[in-house]
Structure 1
Amino acid sequence: MDNDKFIFCLEVVPDVETVINTEVFRNLGQIALEQGITSIYRTCDTIEGVEEGLSALRYDDHNFKDYEIIYLVMPGEGNSICVNEYYYSLTEMAELFEGKLTGKILHFANIKVLDLDPEEAQYFLDVTGARAVSGYGEAMQNINSINLDKAFFSLCQDQDNLIEIVEELHEKHYGLCKLLDFRLYY
């Protein structure tokens, strides 16, 4: 396994001043133990916090080039995210992070439905420089995507070809991919 690629996780919480040990945080620790994939975890409660989190990673962490996956755990729907009861479109996010996500895969947990039309997806990728955007077409309250997220992260560590990653993910976890409607725009 190639251990020089990392995950940066940004999770929206109600209040960053309240320290809580979230399920996402615990699962990232589990991923580190089980798969040897290192991650950085940050919380935010405003769109400025989202921007600060990604900017801090980009400018303050000298290993930024090694962060292949930016794991976004934030509610929303379709082509928008919800931060502190305000909705921001992925178009707005693209403009906020113009040229700052070159080569990265943005992966949304299934608390947000990811539903982009081809033009929206291409605009986001072109403006941000991201390599891909992935997530789920179904946000199910009773089914957390973490197990499929873990499998996806592991495959991204082992190979670079996005088509092969998606094919292998579907081969190994077809039922869950179908149930959660795994999507990847590249």
Structure 2
Amino acid sequence: MQIENFIYCLEAVTDVDEVKTTEVVKILEDIALTQNIASIYKTCDTIEGLEESLSFLLHDDHHFKDYELIYLVIPGEANNFLINGYYYSIEEIAELFEGKMKGKVIHFSNRKVLDLSDEESQYFLDVTGARAISGYGYPSENTSSAFTIDRVFFSLFYENDDLAEVVENMFQKHYKLCKFLNFRLYY
């Protein structure tokens, strides 16, 4: 069985030196087995670690072009990201990814709210080169998007190249969950 669908996942953790299997790792393993979507998983505990992981992806991973989805599991508030006790704005993250995400879809888990204005989303897309950015308008401590709707999004994404149709299918098949977590896509 040859896997042709790939996800690159970066998760912010408290300490990268602490060996711990997070729920995200378990879910990515299950997605590989049940949905035929492989992934590379990296952790970071500082903004420099995030930058280093991104650099690895761009320069050392010879399959970078195969990763259409970049999955970021980073806590935060509204359009700020919390890494090692420091908040970084969506604009700072965009500048970190500057020109490096050409054609990629950057998907944020529901560990933080993604609520961009048209101006903010366009800035992020223009600076990063990303094809789209997606996430949720409602964070939930009790309902991890990784267990539920992220899996659906990843699967539908690799079945259909039209993002508008992907979102339409998600809402048709999982309306209550999409509304509950307030799924959104900017492109």
Amino acid corresponding to residue 27 of structure 1 in structure 2: I
- Rounded to whole Å, the distance in 1 between the matches of 2:23 and 2:96 is 28
Distance across 1 between alignment mates of 2:123 and 2:33: 37
Identity of aligned residues (%): 61
Q: Check the 8 A contact 1:77/1:115 in 2, yes or no.
A: no
Q: Which residue of 1 aligns with 2:65?
A: 65
Cα deviation per residue 1:1-40 (whole Å; 9 max; x = unaligned)? x942310000000000001000000000000010010000
Q: Partner of 2:110: helix, strand, or coil?
A: coil
Query: Hey, which bits of structure 1, 4+ residues long, moved more than 4 A?
Result: none
Q: Secondary structure at the match of 1:39?
A: strand
Q: 8 Å contact 2:5–2:36 — kept in the other structure?
A: no
Aligned residue in 2 for 1:174: 175
CA distance in 1, matches of 2:97, 2:149: 27
Between stretches 24-33 and 50-59, larger displacement belongs to 50-59
Displacement of 1:95: 1.2
Q: Distance in 1 between matches of 2:35 and 2:97?
A: 30
What is the CA distance between 1:129 and its match in structure 2? 0.1
In structure 1, distance between residues paired with 2:65 and 2:142: 35
> Residue deviations 1:56-94, cap 9 Å, x none?
011111110110111000101221111011010110111
Match of 2:9 in 1: 9
Q: Where do 1:12-91 residues align within 5 Å?
A: 12-91=12-91
Mark the runs of 5 or more structure 1 residues left unpaired by the alignment. none
- Looking at structure 2, the residues matched to 80 and 105 of structure 1 have their Cα atoms a distance apart, in angstroms, of 19
TM-score (ref. length: structure 2): 0.97
2:153 is equivalent to residue 152 of structure 1: yes
CA distance in 2, matches of 1:173, 1:92: 33
Q: Deviations over 1:164-185 (max 9, x none)?
A: 0000011111010000000101
Q: TM-score, normalised by structure 1?
A: 0.97
Aligned residue pair count: 185
Task: Give yes or no for contact 1:109–1:136 (8 Å, CA) kept in 2.
Answer: yes
Q: In the alignment, residue 39 of structure 1 is paired with which amino acid?
A: S
Report if the CA contact (8 A) 1:12-1:83 is conserved.
yes
Rounded Cα–Cα distance in structure 2 between residues aligned with 1:62 and 1:5? 15
CA distance in structure 1 between the aligned counterparts of 2:5 and 2:102, rounded to whole angstroms? 15
- Coordinate RMSD, CA, aligned: 1.0
